[in-house]
Structure 1
Amino acid sequence: MRRLIALILALGLGAPAAAQEAVATFGSGPEVLRVEGSTDLAVFGPVLEAFASARPGISIVYEQRGTNDLFSRAADACANAAQGADVVISSAIDLQVKLVNDGCAQPHRTAAAELLPGWARWRDELFGLTFEPAVIVYNRALVPAADVPATRFDLIDLLRAKPARYAGKVATYDIEQSGLGYLFAFADSQEATTFGRLMEAFERADAVATCCSAELIDAVAEGRFLIAYNLLGSYALARAAEDARIGVVAPSDYTLALSRAAMVPRHATNPRAAKALIDYLLSPEGRFGLAQASLIVSFGETDDPATATLSGTPSTLRPIALSPALLVGLDRQKRALFTAQWRSIMGSRDALP
């Protein structure tokens, strides 16, 4: 399936619009379900294919887009009472909460959601589908075992002790390009007493802010970066399972985790099929598929070797709840001040080497 998707993209079949990162169709039925999401097509495609295969009357058109673009499109459709996607699934869960808070989603009361923890659902309109920690990724061949940071304190100490070694070789998401990057960075600023020192260490090490998960992981594997901070563990673990150059650490001082969230827009063309997809993704079968795609990360041992796991069970695991509290970071003045502070530290170092 992944080879097929790669071939479709390489040949440019059904070429996407400029803002799309990728697009593909699953199934061939007359009933069309339009899904827009930030999850990589190669990762999410097999899950959508399984859903479409069990429902021969449906065709799923999946458009992969950046989180900021997803939000803008959904907000515009909401404001203009226009039909757009039938389902929007994004890792920038703060932006998803804003859409729901602004009245841009329709409710879906489903027994499938009753099994979700309280932090992973909101108002019967927003549903957390995955479980993905924010991790530190490093190059196993080029970062000595003694240098591998187990905590943010370790990372700060490392960059202070070896500035020449790691200058320009540490990276993270650009919070202006990536809604997910902003979410993680703002959560850090609220949670961590180390945040100021971490930013100082990044400035000293000429850290790079750039986009996106796949590109950052590629750069670490190739040694262009040695360490990447606050990356989605789902993508990192999936790559580490296939590439011995990639090492992954869940920081033991605390590990942020999110559940990428799905909503049915208020003006969806096919809300019935959209809600059926959400039910499927919350079902045991759907969750198994998400786990196989490394989108549900487990801690400790698992009976399934194909499921993404991180060793240990951090006692300081901190899921980011789907709640109005996320709107604090989206306040226009607060966001502008935080982004200005970030840019003053990261400067213009925003390109992959």
Structure 2
Amino acid sequence: MRIPLLVRRVGSLLALILLAACRIESAAPSGGAAVAQASAPSGEVWVYTSMYRHVLDALEPLLKERLPGVQVHWYQAGSEKVASRLEAERAAGAVRADVLVTSDPFLYERLAKEGAFLRYASVNALRIPRTLVDLDARYAAVRLSTMVLVHRVGAGEAPKSFAALVDGSWKGRVAIGDPLTSGTAFTWAVFLHARRGEAYFAGLREKGAVVAGGNAAVLQKVESGEVDAGVLLLENALAAKVKGSPIKVVWPEDGAVVIPGPVGLFASTRNPVAAKALVDVLLSPEGQRIIVEKGDMHAVDPRLSGPRGEPGVEGLLGRAQAWTPELLEQGLLHGGDIKEAFSRAFAR
């Protein structure tokens, strides 16, 4: 089984199908001209998300077409900032968000354990590989980001794996994100810590890895020639290549790190009908296509190809390191320890 990331218990797809069959509000699965519901969605919906602004802009016309009576408000920021705002609102007992769409699987698992999510199985979720769906219908992946290697063209031979970054051949020539401030870099760090332990962080430090902050900073350092290679989100690399960036994508032999971006509905939502309808649109073929074409991310719909000619979701999962329940628990329960280990390594 690949990436058993959102699967917490042994269950079958039948459980998800039964949940979907019992729901009241649902969207036409093939994405018809309008959302067919017993009660037409209306009113306001607040979405807290880390999706790129240009992707949200591309989704707007589709949402207006499918949900003409719904006014969608976005709070858009990085996953870490979204989480901070959400925690502050939860502490105050006044969560404004109806829907959460970020790229922090650990946050979703914690919120699910705390009972923060409303269970909902969209008809369109039935197509998603079951390893990317919580079988209790608390959340499901809506998009997939992927940490890969990038290498500047003409800078010698490219690294072939994440392990190669500490073998001595890349001393002072590689940039990585900072797991203390970047959510995607943190997820990557959890994977490498689980596989190689704290020694991997120490090895990066000893071999002169440059901690560059977020993905944009990593890309800039590779493009400028300050370093020759970096650990970067695939979507950032593909977008940069279209603009003429002198980099190439390297799929690590020890497996890319796929970071699901789930969607969840808050149990506190004041407008569950419209919130559910919005989830249906995001998971519709048209919504998924926008995520691929405008966001350079992988859709979770297996019928769609990946961005810029890359394989679709099934091919992606075959190139990725496997998520396990144990790894998810590590990030959830010991994330602070992992960050501390990283800080210790680079403070030497």
TM-score band, normalised by shorter chain: 0.7 to 0.9
Secondary structure at 1:264 match in 2: strand
- Whether contact under 8 Å (2:148, 2:250) holds in the other structure is yes
Q: What secondary structure does 1:136 align onto?
A: strand
Q: Give the direction of change, closer, same or farther, for the CA distance of 1:287–1:307 in structure 2 (3 Å limit).
A: farther
C-alpha separation in 1, matches of 2:331 and 2:147: 18
Q: Does the CA contact (< 8 Å) of 1:36 and 1:63 recur in 2?
A: yes
Q: CA deviation at 1:180?
A: 2.5
**Larger deviation: 212-221 or 273-282?**
212-221
Determine helix, strand or coil for the equivalent of 1:291: helix
Three-state SS of the structure 2 residue aligned to 1:128 is: strand
Q: 1:216 aligns with which of 215, 218, 224?
A: 218
What amino acid does structure 1 have at the position aligned with 2:247? I
Contact 1:84–1:269 (CA under 8 A) maintained in structure 2: no
Please report how far the alpha carbon of residue 314 of structure 1 lies from its aligned counterpart in structure 2 after TM superposition.
8.0
Partner residue of 1:173? 177
Say whether 1:337 aligns with 2:333: no
Q: 1:134 aligns with which of 127, 142, 147?
A: 147
Q: How far apart in 2 are the matches of 1:324 and 1:184?
A: 15
Among all aligned residue pairs of Structure 1 and Structure 2, give the percentage whose two residues are the same amino acid: 21
Tell me the equivalent position of 2:247: 246
Find the aligned partners of 1:131 and 1:318 in 2 and give their Cα distance: 14
Counterpart-to-counterpart distance in 2, 1:124 and 1:199: 36
Partners of 1:265 and 1:37 lie apart in 2 by 13
Contact 1:208 1:346 survives alignment (8 Å): no
d(CA) in 2 for partners of 1:250 and 1:124? Answer: 32
Measure the CA separation in 2 of the matches of 1:106 and 1:48. Answer: 24
Deviation at 1:196, TM superposition (A): 5.2
Q: State the alpha-carbon separation in 2 of the partners of residues 297 and 151 from structure 1.
A: 25
Structure 2 equivalent of residue 11 of structure 1: none
Where 2:118 maps in the other structure, the secondary structure is coil
Which string of whole-angstrom CA distances, capped at 9 and with x for unpartnered residues, describes residues 12-36 of structure 1? xxxxxxxxxxxxxxxxx98332211
Distance verdict in 2 for CA 1:310–1:243, change over 3 Å: farther
Q: Distance in 2 between matches of 1:31 and 1:107?
A: 21
TM-score w.r.t. length of structure 2: 0.76
Shift of 1:303: 9.5
Deviation (angstroms), 1:297: 6.7
Q: Hey, what's the Cα distance between the residues in 2 that align with 1:109 and 1:202?
A: 42
Distance verdict in 2 for CA 1:285–1:250, change over 3 Å: same
Equivalent residue, structure 2, for 1:89: 101
Q: What is aligned with 1:61? A: 73
Contact 1:264–1:274, Cα closer than 8 Å, also in 2: yes
Q: Equivalent residue for 1:327?
A: 329
5+ residue gaps, structure 2, are 1-40
Task: Report the Cα distance in structure 2 between the residues aligned to 1:303 and 1:114, rounded to whole angstroms.
Answer: 15
2:265 equivalent to 1:261? no
Q: Which has the higher contact order (CA 8 A, sep 6+)?
A: 2
Q: Deviation string for 1:253-291 (max 9, x for gaps)?
A: 222212211111222233322221211121111111111
The separation in 2 between residues aligned to 1:70 and 1:161, in whole angstroms, is 38
> Is the Cα–Cα contact under 8 Å of residues 148 and 256 in structure 2 kept in the other structure?
yes
Alignment of 1:302-313 (within 5 A): 307=308, 309=310
Gaps of 5+ in 1: 1-28, 349-353
- CA distance in 2: counterparts of 1:314 and 1:272, whole angstroms: 33
Q: Does 1:317 align with 2:330?
A: no
Determine if contact 1:254/1:314 at 8 Å carries over to the other structure. Answer: no
**Runs of 4+ that moved beyond 6 A:** 302-306, 310-314
Which structure 2 residues correspond to residues 1-353 of structure 1 after superposition, within 5 A? 31-122=43-134, 123-141=136-154, 143-144=155-156, 146=157, 148-157=158-167, 160-161=168-169, 163=171, 167=172, 169-190=173-194, 192-193=195-196, 198-229=200-231, 231-293=232-294, 294-296=296-298, 307=308, 309=310, 315-320=318-323, 326-331=328-333, 334-347=334-347
Letter of the 2:186 counterpart: Y
Q: Give the number of equivalent residue pairs.
A: 302
